[in-house]
Amino acid sequence: MIIYGTALLALCHLLGIFLGDLLGQALGVKTNVGGVGIAMLLLITARIYMHRKGILPKLTELGVEYWGAMYIPVVVAMAAQQDMVSALRGGPVALLSALAAVAVCAVVISLINRAERPASGALAEPVRNDNPLLNETE
Amino acid sequence: MTAMREIRERAALQNGLVSAFMVVGLIVLLSGQISRRLTFGRVHGSAIAIVIGLVLAYWGGTRTGGHRGLADMSLFGGIGLMGGAMLRDFAIVATAFEVQVTEARQAGLIGVVSLLLGTLLPFVVGAAIAWSFGYSDAVSMTTIGAGAVTYIVGPVTGAAIGASPDVMALSIATGLVKAILVMVGTPMAARFLRLKTPRSAMVFGGLAGTVSGVSAGLAATDRKLVPYGALVATFHTGLGCLLGPSVLFFAVKAVVG
Sorting pLDDT into bands at 50, 70 and 90, what band is B39? confident
Distance from CA of B116 to the nearest CA of A (A): 12
Interchain CB contact of B14 with A (< 8 Å): no
Is the CB of A40 less than 8 angstroms away from the CB of B99? yes
Is pLDDT above 60 for A12?
yes
Sorting pLDDT into bands at 50, 70 and 90, what band is B142? very high
User: Nearest Cβ partner of B177 from A40, A94, A112?
Assistant: A94
For B164-218, how does the pLDDT look when each residue is reduced to its tens digit (9 = 90+)? 888 888 898 898 899 889 988 998 898 899 998 899 999 999 999 788 889 889 9
For B209-256, how does the pLDDT look when each residue is reduced to its tens digit (9 = 90+)? 788 889 889 988 888 899 999 989 888 888 888 888 888 998 998 998
Interchain CB contact of B180 with A (< 8 Å): yes
User: Nearest Cβ partner of B83 from A10, A81, A129?
Assistant: A81
Residues of A in contact with B94 (CB under 8 A): 9, 43, 64-68, 70-71
Is the CB of B160 less than 8 angstroms away from the CB of A30? yes
Q: What is the ipTM of this complex?
A: 0.88
Of A112 and A89, the one with more pLDDT = A112
Instruction: Delimit the domains of chain B by residue range.
Output: 2-83, 98-256
Is the CB of B129 less than 8 angstroms away from the CB of A89? no
Residues of B in contact with A128 (CB under 8 A): 100, 224
Is the CB of A81 less than 8 angstroms away from the CB of B68? yes
CA–CA separation, A97 and B241 (whole Å): 19
Residues of A in contact with B178 (CB under 8 A): 98, 101-102
For A44-90, how does the pLDDT look when each residue is reduced to its tens digit (9 = 90+)? 999 999 999 999 999 999 999 999 999 889 989 988 988 888 878 77
Is pLDDT above 80 for A128?
no
Is pLDDT above 70 for B143?
yes
Closest to B174 measured CA to CA, from B154, B158, B157, B204: B154
Global pTM value = 0.85
Distance from CA of A55 to the nearest CA of B (A): 15
Is the CB of A61 less than 8 angstroms away from the CB of B231? no
Spatial neighbors of B242 by CB under 8 A, at least 6 apart, are: A27, A29, A33
pLDDT of residue B160: 84
Answer for the pair A39, A16: CB distance below 8 angstroms, yes or no: yes
Closest to B250 measured CA to CA, from B118, B145, B165, B173: B145
Answer for the pair A34, B231: CB distance below 8 angstroms, yes or no: no
Give the gyration radius of chain A's Cα atoms: 20
